[in-house]
């Protein structure tokens, strides 16, 4: 597994190049294409290259001109969450890397969404438990006082 930060594969925030009036660029010279109906890549959580581990199923061999292999599968792992994305949708390694990152950002978005849902549920559950405990305590208190009253009434009789 290679740490992506080891190479000069820089992630440029898409917003920085939108101001020039030209086609906006993202990583490694790809124009930013906003697909209608899909959540825009801009809105998805940003991924930092230092948090990624990338692996290429290219087999052993010297690489470059000395190798002719057609395997171009990209395996991308997001270290903080442990999410792993595998992509071999296209015949281009570069495109697969880009797609893997898009898929990862989509998954992170869902993950974050689930996170906040989970937190909400957890908070509600805690609140319910607290209410329940208070009720139980109140009832116990009532029973205790009733018992005390009974005891004192008994004593008065004798």
Partner 1 sequence: MMFKTIWFRLMHRYSGVSKQRSVVRLSSSAAEGAVAPPADCSVTAEQAVRLWARHFTLHGISEPLLSSQYIISHVLGEKTLERVSRKRLRDTLTDREIERVWKLCSKRLTRMPVQYVIEEWDFRDLTLKMKRPVFIPRPETEELVSLVLEDLQLIQGESHRTDLRGLEVGCGSGAISLSLLRSIPQLRVFALDQSQTAVCLTTENANRLGLQDRLDVHHLDVIKDADAILSKCDLVDFIVSNPPYLLSQDMKTLQTEIFRFEDHAALDGGLDGLSVIRSILGLGSKLLKKRGRIYLEVAPCHPPVIQQLIEDMMPGLLYLETHCDLTNRPRFCILQKKGEND
Residues that bind partner 1 (CB under 8 A): 2, 6-8, 10, 17, 20, 22, 25, 28-31, 54, 56, 58, 61-72, 88-95
**Least distance (Å) between residue 43 CB and partner 1:** 23
**Least distance (Å) between residue 119 CB and partner 1:** 36
71 or 139: whose CB is closer to partner 1? 71
Phi, psi dihedral angles at 154 (to 5 degrees): -60, -45
37 or 59: whose CB is closer to partner 1? 59
3-state SS, residue 31: strand
Of 60, 95, 88, 89, nearest in space to 74 by CA: 88
Contact 110, 101 (CB under 8 A): no
17 or 81: whose CB is closer to partner 1? 17
Question: What is the helix (H) or strand (E) element at residue 129, kind and residue range?
Answer: helix 93-157
């Amino acid at each position: 597994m290679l740490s992506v930060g080891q190479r000069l594969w820089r992630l440029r925030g898409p917003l920085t190049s939108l101001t020039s009036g030209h086609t906006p660029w993202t990583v490694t010279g790809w124009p930013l294409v906003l697909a209608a109906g899909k959540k825009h890549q801009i809105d998805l959580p940003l991924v930092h290259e230092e948090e990624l581990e990338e692996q290429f199923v290219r087999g052993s061999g010297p690489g470059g001109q000395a190798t002719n292999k057609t395997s171009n599968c990209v395996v991308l792992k997001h270290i903080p969450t442990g999410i792993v994305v595998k992509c071999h949708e296209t015949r281009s390694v570069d495109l697969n890397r880009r797609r893997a990152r898009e898929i990862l950002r989509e998954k992170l978005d869902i993950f974050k969404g689930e996170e906040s849902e989970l937190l909400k549920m957890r908070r509600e559950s805690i609140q319910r438990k607290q209410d329940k405990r208070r009720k139980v305590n109140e009832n116990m208190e009532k029973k205790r006082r009733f018992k005390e009253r009974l005891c004192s009434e008994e004593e008065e009789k004798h």
